Amino acid sequence: MTARRQPNPNSESVDNYLKAILLLGGLEEKRVTSNALARTLGVAPASVTNMLQKLAAGSPPLVEYERHHGVLLSSAGRKRAVEVVRHHRLIETFLYEVLDYPIDEVHEEAERLEHFISERFEERIAAKLGHPTIDPHGHCIPAMDGAMPKQDSIQLTDDVQEGIYVVDSVSDRSARTLRLLKDNGIAPGVKLRVRGRPSISSYAVSVGRSSKILNLQEEAANSIRVCAVRK
């Protein structure tokens, strides 16, 4: 019987799976479904199942996988996933703050580079930047020991009531949406007044001290995480 070929634990594809499981599972490390991974990675569910089986059979196993019950990262898988996320967010910060990349371009560049930088290079970037804890999108940068502080925020679309909030982070998945938010002054740290729901798929907000009403469609609103302003 031919032994199942093991995936290269350092391949870009493996890194992308591990990172997606980490981010979808959250700090609670919830089980992640194959369908959720397929949507996030843009691959067929059958391909996801095949890869998860290989990752679970590796030495060491990178995931704990049970068909129809989702997947969890093993300790080895989580260590690698956090490392890749740290690389990605440090690179984004370096590109944005040092090389003056536009905010909507840093994600794709970091996606290409995150798999290949050495630990020494990572340390040099972190030192150059003053050991940042937040990337340009407002996402926490994991510490060297793998710690990922919890960010106490909610999505704008999570039944947010009318009132004043502070933008905690914006999703980096869509360059088009990032450009829209940037053009309207929406960025981490900016105050956002939620004024209501003009329709089932839009959110009326005003930015900072402006009284101008901006109607955000579902896709854009879904990419914003906010924290309530304490009175």
Mean pLDDT of 89-109: 96
What confidence category does residue 15 fall into, taking pLDDT thresholds of 50, 70 and 90?
very high
Mean pLDDT over each residue of the chain, to the nearest integer: 90
12-73 is a CATH 3.30.1490.20 domain? no
Domain extents for the chain? Answer: 12-73, 154-228
Give residues with Cβ within 8 angstroms of 137, minimum separation 6: 92, 103, 107, 169, 170, 171, 172, 188
Pick the CATH number of 154-228 from 1.20.140.10, 2.30.30.90, 3.40.640.10, 2.40.30.260: 2.30.30.90
pTM summary value? 0.87
Looking at residue 9, its pLDDT comes to 53
Cα(92)–Cα(103) distance, integer angstroms: 9
Q: Is the pLDDT of residue 4 over 80?
A: no
Mean pLDDT of 61-85: 94
Cα within 13 Å of Cα(4), Cβ side = 12
What confidence category does residue 147 fall into, taking pLDDT thresholds of 50, 70 and 90?
confident
Mean pLDDT of 157-171: 91
